Amino acid sequence: MQKRILHFEGLVVFLATTYAYSIYEFSWIIFLVFLLTPDLSMFAYGINNHVGATIYNICHTYIISIVIAIIGVYFKVDTVIMIGLIWIAHIGMDRMFGYGLKYETDFKDTHIQRL
């Protein structure tokens, strides 16, 4: 049941941020091109599991992406808003598909898998 809730929550976050992105009338090409950018953080696993999990998790928590979006709204900087919304949408999409924050044990060992 908890997994389903997290998957649904991810769907809601993805849809809400995609809707917000559409309200701003930002480029959909930019959205699609950069939607998977946070996944570049997985290359940190090439160093070791500890560094990989740390960097990946920093890039896949809502905290930084939401703060970036808020800063963009506060200072009225469209590019910053766009970055924040795409980043939030990416995390929501990951959660929707069952990808979660990583443990140091293995790349596929996530907080969602342990539910």
Instruction: Assess if residue 35 is contained within a domain.
Output: yes
pLDDT value at position 110?
A: 86
Q: Which of 91, 83, 86, 85 is nearest to 57 (CA)?
A: 91
Instruction: Assess if residue 112 is contained within a domain.
Output: no
Instruction: Assess if residue 31 is contained within a domain.
Output: yes
Instruction: Assess if residue 115 is contained within a domain.
Output: no
pLDDT value at position 71?
A: 99
Residue ranges making up the domain that contains 19: 2-106
CA distance 15 to 8: 11
Instruction: Assess if residue 23 is contained within a domain.
Output: yes
| Token pair recorded at residue 72 | 């963009």
pLDDT value at position 25?
A: 98
Instruction: Assess if residue 113 is contained within a domain.
Output: no
* Contact (Cβ atoms closer than 8 angstroms) between residue 20 and residue 85: yes
* Contact (Cβ atoms closer than 8 angstroms) between residue 102 and residue 41: no
pLDDT value at position 107?
A: 83
Domain count, the chain: 1
pLDDT value at position 114?
A: 77
Instruction: Assess if residue 111 is contained within a domain.
Output: no
Residues in the chain with pLDDT values less than 70: none
Instruction: Assess if residue 114 is contained within a domain.
Output: no
SS3 107: strand
pLDDT value at position 67?
A: 99
pLDDT value at position 10?
A: 97
